[in-house]
Amino acid sequence: MQPIVNGLENEYGSDIEFVKINTDDPNSAAAKQEYGFRYQPYFVLVDAEGEVLQTWPGYTEAALFEAAFATLEN
pLDDT value for 2:
85
Is the pLDDT reported for residue 73 higher than 80?
A: no
Mean pLDDT of 41-56: 94
How confident is residue 74, by pLDDT bands cut at 50, 70 and 90? Answer: low
Domain ranges of the chain: 2-70
Closest CA to 36 of 23, 27, 47, 24: 23
Q: What is the pTM of this model?
A: 0.86
| pLDDT over 90 at 46, yes or no | yes
Average pLDDT over residues 31-56: 93
User: Distance between the two ends of the chain, CA-based, in angstroms?
Assistant: 26
